[in-house]
Structures are given as C-alpha cells and as structure tokens.
Amino acid sequence: MAASLRSLSAAAIAGLLAVGFVVVVLDDGGTPAQAASFCAAPASVAGGSAPAGGVAGFDAVQMRNAQAIMNAAKALDLPVSAQLIGVQAALGESTLRVVDYGDGAGLDSRGLFQQRAGGAWGSYEDRMDPSISAANFFKALQRVEGWEALEPTIAIHRIQRNADQNHYTRFRQQAAEIVKALGGEAAAGVDASGTCPADGNQVVGDLAGKWVHPMAGAVNTSGYGPRQAPAGTAGGVLANFHYGIDFSTPGQAGTIVAITDMKIVKVRNLEGLFGTGVTGQTTDGKLTISMYHMVAGSLKVKEGDTVAAGTPLGTEGATGNVSGRHLHMEFYAGALPNPMIPINATIDPTPILKEKGIL
C-alpha cells in the first residue's frame, strides 16, 4: 500500500514507514516519482484464531501455544520477525507443546522453550506457562545484540545454546506458515524472512542509471572462472568453476545494496546452495544480476519491486552452500525470462565492474 506525501504530516509519514508502508512521492503531475523508503520489518500482529482448516501437522493445542507466543511478542512491541523467531524456537524445542520433561542436555528443562531451572527462567510454574515462558524468551532475545540482523537460527542459538547452532533452520518455513495462519489478513504479507510487507511493484529510490559498490568496505575475495584445488591436493588440479564474483567485509557483516537500478524478479529464502538472496534485471534490460548468501531474515525487498542503485537489499551472511560470510554475485546477459536459468550461462562480471569503476 502506498500513501501520498501531499496529505500526510511528517509524523504521519514516520509512522507509516515504521510499520513497513512505502511512501510514494508525487511529482507535479500526480504520478509516482520515487519511493521514500525501502521495506521495513512490519509491526507484530495479534495472534488470532487458527483458520478452520488449521495448519497441516499442527493441532489446536499447538496453535494455541503459537498464539500465546505471538501475543507475548506483541505485548513487548516486537515486530513480526520476532514472532517468527519465537514460534521457530518453540518448534525446535518442543514442537509447540508444553512438555513436562527434559532431555539429555538438560534433565530439568521444561515448557515450550525447554527452559531450565535455577532462576534465570523463573519458577517451574513460569516455565510451564506459555505466555510467561514466551515473554521471558523474547526478553532474552532483546538482549542479543543485533538480533534483527542475525540469521534466525543463530539468534535463537544465542539464547537456547543448542549443540547445533543450525538446528532451528529446518523449522523456519513451518513457523512462517503458522504465523500467517494466526495473523490473518494483517500477516498475509509475511514471508519466510519475516521482514518485509508484500506490496511489491514499488519503485524505491531515484532511478538515475548509476552504479555503486555492492557492499561498502568489502574487498574482492574471489574472481570468476576456474579455481585451483587447495594446496596439498593431487597436482593442484582445477577443482571447480566459480560462476560469480565474491566480496567480503573484513569486520562486521556489511549491508548489501543494489549495484545498479534493477527490478527484483526472484527472492530466495534459505534455498539450497543459494541460501538467501535476490535476482534483479537491470532497468536497461542488458543484465540479470543475482546476489546470494545473505542473512536469513534480512531481505528488504519483494519480487516486483524496482530499486535504485544503493538501495539496501539485505545483510552479508553465510546461508546456503558456503564456508564463510560473503556476497556471491552472478551476472547473466540480457533480461532473462526465467531467473532459475542454469549457472553455466553466467558471464564474467569482472570487465563490467572494472568499466563501472567498482573493481
């Protein structure tokens, strides 16, 4: 949904942006000129009743517990992304049931989140109460520095301390389906990332045709083409072909931005070797560009959005088939009708990036 600046005060505009509305600036002719903001995490939604058909694999008790988790986050003014994390964590710990037994890692663990005794999570009664235990989980989440930019499974792990920090990834899609089901119309736009309303088809920024670096402060860590096997392997033979170009920040994870004006044609959330990322077609129709391995939950655009160079897309991460945090970027010639085209159709980005002054 878009709103005209002509009829809104500055305070009203700020309020709309805070809940993820896209504010469209109108030129003198009354037509959309550019959007003043990119997608933001939508506000939390009240956990409503489950639909008549329910959610496959989950009974009424589990859905009521998910509702309690969502309402606990809303009471703390946390966004939908936090509600998703809460449901995801409880799925991974108890399958959304208030369990009265522990496990090998903690025989004293109890409740939806398998919270342990000792005072940190309250009394036995607190840990067995869905609303109180959820509130305590979210209070702990708020103490995790930068939790909004972390991969959800990592944010949960920093609270729950599971032996496998990726344990919760497998429950992300189920959590999204449950939150959608309980949020009704208000949550219809929630995708697995949990960070962006489903408007789509918005123009974000000033489409001036310029090019920018995809990640400020990042260095080029791997080029396009065949790569050598690690030192010590038989003869140092070619091990594989790198179908893109990589950038990585030496310190804190960087913000990945649109390298030029493009229309987003594909958004991926934790998909196989790609992980989380976007594919965009340049507005001049000359290239299709994919940018992968972003932090799950960090995407700020939707399929159908047209974004200007420099528009934040997501956060540098390590999702998909990777060995460390970085941005992997692939170029294809032309505006491809199918963004799922095989990777062996890529072209070398290096000459283009040098021409644009990025390398």
Return the closest-CA partner of residue 281 out of 300, 313, 299, 258. Answer: 258
Residue extents of the structural domains in the chain? 2-35, 60-187, 203-355
252 or 247: which carries more pLDDT confidence?
Answer: 247
> What class does CATH assign to 203-355?
mainly beta
Query: Could you tell me the pLDDT band of residue 99, with boundaries at 50, 70 and 90?
Result: very high
Q: Tokens 């033979």 identify what position? A: 237
Residue type, 248: S
Question: Mean of the pLDDT values across residues 287-302?
Answer: 89
Sign of CA dihedral 69, 72, 78, 80: positive
Q: Tokens 């389906």 identify what position? A: 177
Question: Mean of the pLDDT values across residues 308-330?
Answer: 91
DSSP string, 7-69: G--HHHHHHHHHTTPEEEEE-TTSSEEEES----PPBP----PPPTT-BTTB-HHHHHHHHHH
Query: Could you tell me the pLDDT band of residue 207, with boundaries at 50, 70 and 90?
Result: confident
Question: Mean of the pLDDT values across residues 127-152?
Answer: 91
3-class secondary-structure state, position 111: coil
Is 50 exceeded by the pLDDT of residue 38? no
Is 50 exceeded by the pLDDT of residue 238? no
Phi, psi of 321 (to 5 degrees): -85, 85
Q: What confidence score (pLDDT) does residue 170 get?
A: 86
pTM: 0.54
- Taking only the tens place, the pLDDT of each residue in 122-136 is 999 999 999 999 999
Asked if 15 and 4 touch (Cβ cutoff 8 Å), the reply is no
Query: Could you tell me the pLDDT band of residue 268, with boundaries at 50, 70 and 90?
Result: confident
d(CA 64, CA 170): 21
How many other C-beta atoms can be found within 10 angstroms of the C-beta atom of residue 113?
26
% of residues, the chain, pLDDT over 70: 74
